[in-house]
Amino acid sequence: MSNVLVLGGTTEASGLAALLAARGTAAVLSYAGRVASPKVQPIPVRIGGFGGLEGLVGYLRDHAVTHLVDATHPFAARMSATAVVAAAHTGVAYIALTRPAWTPVAGDRWTMLADIDAAVAALAGPSRRVMLALGRMHVDAFSVQPQHDYLLRFVDTPDRPPGLPRHHLVVDRGPFDVEDERCLMEAHGTEIMVCKNAGGTGAQAKIVAARALGLPVIMIARPVPPPRLEVHAAEDVLHWLDHAADRGV
Ligand code: 3Y8
Ligand code: NAP
């Protein structure tokens, strides 16, 4: 009898949760607790960190988890690294559900950079109207480039105003719509956009809108995940669950 733990926080994790609910598989979706009101799910949800490797190992054992699905965002590097090791420590079957990185197509004006620090450095120079589509956690890094007019977007209203002297904050959560993204960028007079190579569909609208507007994009590469079993479709996770069941795990 399988008992699945899904590490969530992505459109793909929600899609998998719906499939698991539909087939009546015992499963829990886990959130870190980063936002005030995470999306309602059709399966039980747990919210909060596990307490590092020891905490996750303990959770897997205490809850008799048989299958661990890492469906976190590609930038959730610490969670993904912990998940691989915890599965190996406990012998729990493990798979990652991720989305392929976006690749540039005709009309894209991308500068691909390695990380947030490189993106900050790339913004040296005269004041520009910059859309930072990075969420809340990395905004402070850009305070060394205070000369720009920043358009920020957070999931929740922050307790204190962002530390950028010239900014306009939009509080909204995705998935986003191309036309809305284009209107937002035009209303702000966006001249350049900074974003993570999140992949998937939930954050892609801004890329399509930037292409349509001919805007340059600083595209931050995702961290390299540890070696692991990885699929890109929720249906492949179900096949893995069924196949693993045949193997008696
Ligand atoms: C808490 C749980 C679903 C999942 C929806 C996806 C799509 C919409 C697009 C922009 C980029 C960003 C951000 C983003 C997107 C989906 C997905 C995705 C990007 C929620 C959610 C949680 C979070 C955490 C949040 C981070 C932030 C990142 C905003 C739920 C809504 C920028 C990533 O305020 C904070 O502290 C927010 C933190 C981690 C990154 C950051 O550095 O600020 N996601 N986002 C998860 C948890 O607690 O475990 O309510 O759904 C989930 C989603 N956000 O089921 O429909 O699949 O990626 N999330 C990025 O891609 O760059 C917004 O504005 O254009
Ligand atoms: P992270 O830096 O890799 O993880 C930091 C710590 O947060 C982890 O060590 C773990 O705490 C806890 N954590 C992370 N994901 C968790 C989950 N699904 N369930 C329980 N605990 C979790 O992760 P992050 O970048 O902060 O992302 C946090 C969550 O937001 C993830 O669910 C991710 O899918 C979602 N998200 C992130 C982004 C992004 O841009 N980073 C974008 C969209 C969604 P302990 O060590 O205490 O166990």
Ligand 1 mean position, distance from CA 4 (Å): 22
Say what the pTM is: 0.96
- Contacts with 8 (C-beta within 8 Å, 6 or more apart), sequence order: 14, 17, 29, 30, 31, 41, 71, 72
pLDDT, residue 245, reads 54
Ligand 2 mean position, distance from CA 248 (Å): 31
Residue-wise pLDDT for 67-118, tens only, equals 999 999 999 999 999 999 999 999 999 999 999 999 999 999 999 999 999 9
Q: Say which CATH topology domain 109-220 has.
A: Rossmann fold (3.40.50)
CA–CA distance, 142 with 51 (Å, rounded to integer): 29
Average pLDDT on 143-159 reads 97
Residue-wise pLDDT for 23-54, tens only, equals 999 999 999 999 999 999 999 999 999 999 99
Ligand 2 mean position, distance from CA 79 (Å): 6
Ligand 1 mean position, distance from CA 113 (Å): 21
CA–CA distance, 176 with 209 (Å, rounded to integer): 11
Question: Across the beta sheet with 192-196, what order do the strands follow?
Answer: 109-113, 216-220, 192-196, 129-133, 149-154, 167-171
Q: Say which CATH topology domain 3-100+224-247 has.
A: Rossmann fold (3.40.50)
- Does a cis peptide bond (omega within 30 degrees of 0) precede residue 162? no
Tokens of 92: 């729990």
Q: Do residues 73 and 10 touch, judged by C-beta distance below 8 A? A: yes
Please tell me if the CB atom of residue 76 comes closer than 6 angstroms to any atom of ligand 2. Answer: yes
Please tell me if the CB atom of residue 190 comes closer than 6 angstroms to any atom of ligand 2. Answer: no
Is the pLDDT at 218 greater than 90? The verdict is yes
Please tell me if the CB atom of residue 50 comes closer than 6 angstroms to any atom of ligand 2. Answer: yes
Radius of gyration of the chain (CA): 20
Nearest to 35 by CA among 1, 10, 64: 10
Domain ranges (residues) in the chain: 3-100+224-247, 109-220
Q: Tell me whether the CATH fold assigned to 3-100+224-247 matches the one assigned to 109-220.
A: yes
